């Protein structure tokens, strides 16, 4: 697993939308849909993650599943890969807040314990083959394009409400009319 994978807050600032998936069938079915530009807008990239409740009983379950994968070397490391991916996504309590707000994680622990939950699972754990290599490559490639971060900052800072769009359109119309008036004034002399 690459150590430079961006956490949830950095991905949100780069325009990635987090979505909880209820009909995924398994917590392992994590998807990343890349955004596309359309004629009149941009469909944001979406990180689709199945819902996961975290409580006192979740810790022994994950630890036992990870121990099982660690003991049987011929078994794939899917649960361990899931823990490593979530550890990279949840690097701080702010990351946990974003995922809880989007109903991806139900945190029944304190905010700090919830943020440290996955890092504690990954302590002293070896990972032979990372199950989410392709997914992480897509997410990192999206994150490294500065255009997405600029576009999200522009939307967040300047176009947060519909009146911003209306005033931009009105200003463009006024500028166009001013140019037409200037051209007409020059040609009429």
- Looking at the fold, whether 67 and 14 belong to one and the same domain comes out as yes
Nearest-angstrom CA–CA distance, 6 and 3: 9
Question: Is 14 within a domain?
Answer: yes
Domain that holds residue 182: 161-189
- Looking at the fold, whether 147 and 174 belong to one and the same domain comes out as no
Count up the domains in the chain and report the number: 2
- Looking at the fold, whether 68 and 112 belong to one and the same domain comes out as yes
The tens digit of pLDDT for each residue in 60-96 reads: 999 999 888 888 877 788 898 999 999 999 988 899 9
pTM reported for the whole predicted model: 0.78
The answer to whether residues 128 and 75 touch, using CB atoms and an 8 Å cutoff, is no
- Looking at the fold, whether 147 and 177 belong to one and the same domain comes out as no
- Looking at the fold, whether 56 and 106 belong to one and the same domain comes out as yes
DSSP states of 21-57: ESS-SSTT--EEEPPEEETTEEEPPEEEEE-EEESTT
Nearest-angstrom CA–CA distance, 110 and 9: 19
The tens digit of pLDDT for each residue in 16-62 reads: 899 998 887 888 899 998 876 655 566 778 899 999 989 888 889 99
- Is 73 exposed, middle or buried (CB count within 10 Å of its CB: 0-12, 13-18, 19+)? exposed
Question: Is 1 within a domain?
Answer: no
């Amino acid at each position: 697993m690459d150590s430079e994978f961006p956490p949830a807050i950095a991905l949100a600032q780069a325009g990635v939308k987090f979505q909880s998936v209820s009909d995924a069938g398994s917590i392992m079915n994590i998807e990343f849909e890349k955004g596309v530009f359309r004629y009149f807008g941009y469909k944001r990239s979406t990180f689709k993650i199945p819902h996961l409740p975290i409580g006192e009983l979740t810790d022994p379950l994950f630890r036992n599943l990870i121990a099982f994968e660690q003991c049987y070397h011929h078994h794939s490391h899917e649960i361990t890969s899931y823990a490593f991916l979530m550890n990279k996504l949840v690097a701080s309590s702010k990351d946990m807040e974003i995922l809880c707000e989007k109903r991806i994680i139900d945190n029944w622990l304190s905010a700090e314990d919830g943020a440290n939950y996955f890092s504690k699972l990954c302590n002293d754990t070896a990972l032979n083959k990372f199950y989410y290599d392709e997914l992480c490559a897509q997410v990192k490639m999206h994150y490294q394009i500065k255009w997405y971060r600029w576009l999200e900052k522009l939307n967040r800072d300047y176009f947060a409400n519909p009146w911003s769009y209306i005033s931009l359109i009105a200003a463009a119309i006024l500028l166009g009319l001013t140019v037409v008036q200037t051209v007409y004034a020059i040609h009429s002399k």
